[in-house]
Amino acid sequence: MLRQQLGQKLQQKLSPQQILAMKLLEIPTLELEERIRQELEENPALEEGREEMPPDTEDTDFDNDYNEGGNDFDLDEYMPDDDIPDYKLQINNASKEDKHTDIPFVHKETFSDYLLNQLSLQNLSEQDAQIAEYIVGNIDDEGYLRRSLEAISDDLIFQTGIDVDAAYLETILRIIQAFEPAGVAARDLRECLLLQIQRKEKNQNQRLAEKIIRNYFDEFTRKRYEKIIHQLTISENEFKQANAEIMKLNPKPGNGWGGATDSSSQHIVPDFILEVENDKPRVLLNNYNVPELRVSYEYQELFADYSAAKSNSRQMKETVSFVKQKLDAAKWFIEAIKQRNDRLLMTVNAIVKFQKDFFLHGDASNLRPMILKDIAQLAGLDISTVSRVSNSKYIQTDFGVFPLKYFFSEGMQTETGEEVSTREIKKILEECIAAEDKRNPVADEKLCELLNEKGYKIARRTVSKYREQLNIPVSRLRKGF
């Protein structure tokens, strides 16, 4: 049975200007530069230059028109509490003369470019070159070909009309697997290691290493070393030397380029620069390449002239509306940039104040437990604002470049009631594992006991969780000689 019912619902809708301000707050410096260049191209009322009061515009009513309808807003009031990550939750700016030439690091050639350049040197037919290029396009960030040759064969016939079977693709793949770096285009770790060791001028240790990879790879990955030694009838010392050769091989040959296809991953431009003078940290915005903006003088004068004309023609009204729209957009964009800079510096200054010991000395053990709520209260901002500022942004310090997320962590109390960061506990956990006897690695239960003895009262499942977050395998897979 259908019913019609009247009801009232209160909704808060964001204006385009408010959405713009939120988006600008989220993006890092590199994207901000691109966004400003885009806006300069699209809006003739916006131009580069220091904002000053233009001459002979005091009598225009642009500002009054601009502020009609209550356009002023506080960004924090419109921040929805979504997408808050699980790490939970006085402005000093750099002048245009401050130059930090050591900040951006850019590696221009991608891994795919490197492989395609090698492909161009091969004497292949047009069809084989097209097949090889398609295979290269399927190599992932770590240098592996994860898709089966059968699947690639199906793709080729549907997308390019090239009908070749998996056996034919295997011959093309062998050509690519001969490229640098050694191990590229392997379909699994075993093949990757074999491709590398096969290129070496083998001594006795390397021949033994190749035999282990080829014939005993499953046992080797499961750390069943005694079984391998027994089946190969070799000494423990011979196995150690072969194992040392295997450890020299690169399990992820694509990682040297930071990604097979994504060149943007090569760009790390810090959004903030931390300077310390006389034990006083000072945060600067890295806005060296970000242009200063102002509303076009010519467009303001044009608006004043059109408004003074008092014409009621349709064409004049449309012209005035167009000019005003562009002026509004320019002024809103400049205001949104200012609000972004203010909130970024307020947030990072609060982080630096909260974690002052770390920023002075660079010792990770000095990091205090810190959540978004701590910084929001200290900076006088909304938690969602702090969350957006902290996302995808970096700060350059004397001890390296860090993502802002690095400084957020939950906390727990020791036996003495002292609150410590989970990061500190993870550091102690790493030290315990590094000091263990590799012949008899310590299980999670024993690690839990060791941490408890040091005053960190945590459960075994918590130890397991921290170990996994540190990408440390279970004790059985840490076994060695």
Q: Which of 197, 227, 257 is the last residue of a domain?
A: 257
- pLDDT, residue 291, reads 86
Q: Which of 257, 286, 310 is the last residue of a domain?
A: 257
Residues 310 and 378 in one domain: yes
Residue 165 contacts residue 172 (beta carbons within 8 Å): no
- pLDDT, residue 5, reads 62
6 assigned to some structural domain: no
Residues 42 and 94 in one domain: yes
Residues 222 and 274 in one domain: no
351 assigned to some structural domain: yes
- pLDDT, residue 1, reads 54
Residues 395 and 474 in one domain: no
Residues 97 and 115 in one domain: no
- pLDDT, residue 64, reads 44
Count of CB atoms within 10 A of residue 453's CB?
A: 8
Q: The CATH number of the domain where 429 resides is what? A: 1.10.10.60
Query: How far is residue 29 from each of residues 32, 97, 100, 343, 393, measured CA to CA in Å?
Result: 5, 18, 14, 14, 8
Residues 403 and 423 in one domain: no
5 assigned to some structural domain: no
Calculate Rg over the CA atoms of the chain: 31
Residues 245 and 150 in one domain: yes
Residues 154 and 205 in one domain: yes
Residues 308 and 358 in one domain: yes
Number of domains in the chain: 3
Residues 318 and 442 in one domain: no
Helix (H, G, I), strand (E, B) or coil at 3: coil
Can you give the pLDDT of all 481 residues of the chain as single tens digits? 556 666 555 555 566 777 777 888 888 888 888 899 999 999 999 998 876 655 554 444 444 443 444 444 444 443 444 444 443 333 333 443 444 444 444 445 678 888 998 998 889 999 999 999 999 999 998 899 999 999 999 989 888 889 999 999 999 999 999 998 899 999 999 999 999 999 887 789 899 999 999 999 999 988 888 999 999 999 999 999 999 899 889 898 887 664 434 443 446 788 999 999 888 999 999 887 788 899 988 888 888 887 777 777 788 888 888 888 889 999 999 999 999 999 999 999 999 999 999 999 888 778 888 888 899 999 999 988 898 898 889 999 988 888 998 888 766 666 655 566 777 788 888 888 888 888 888 899 989 888 888 887 888 888 888 888 888 888 887 877 6
Residues 35 and 158 in one domain: no
2 assigned to some structural domain: no
Give the list of residues 6+ apart from residue 404 with CB closer than 8 angstroms, or none. Answer: 348, 351, 389, 390, 391, 393, 394, 395
Residues 327 and 434 in one domain: no
pTM of the predicted model as reported, rounded to 2 decimal places: 0.52
* Structural domain for 216, as ranges: 111-257
Q: Which of 207, 224, 257 is the last residue of a domain?
A: 257
From its phi and psi, is residue 55 left (phi > 0), alpha (psi between -120 and 50) or beta? beta
- pLDDT, residue 98, reads 43
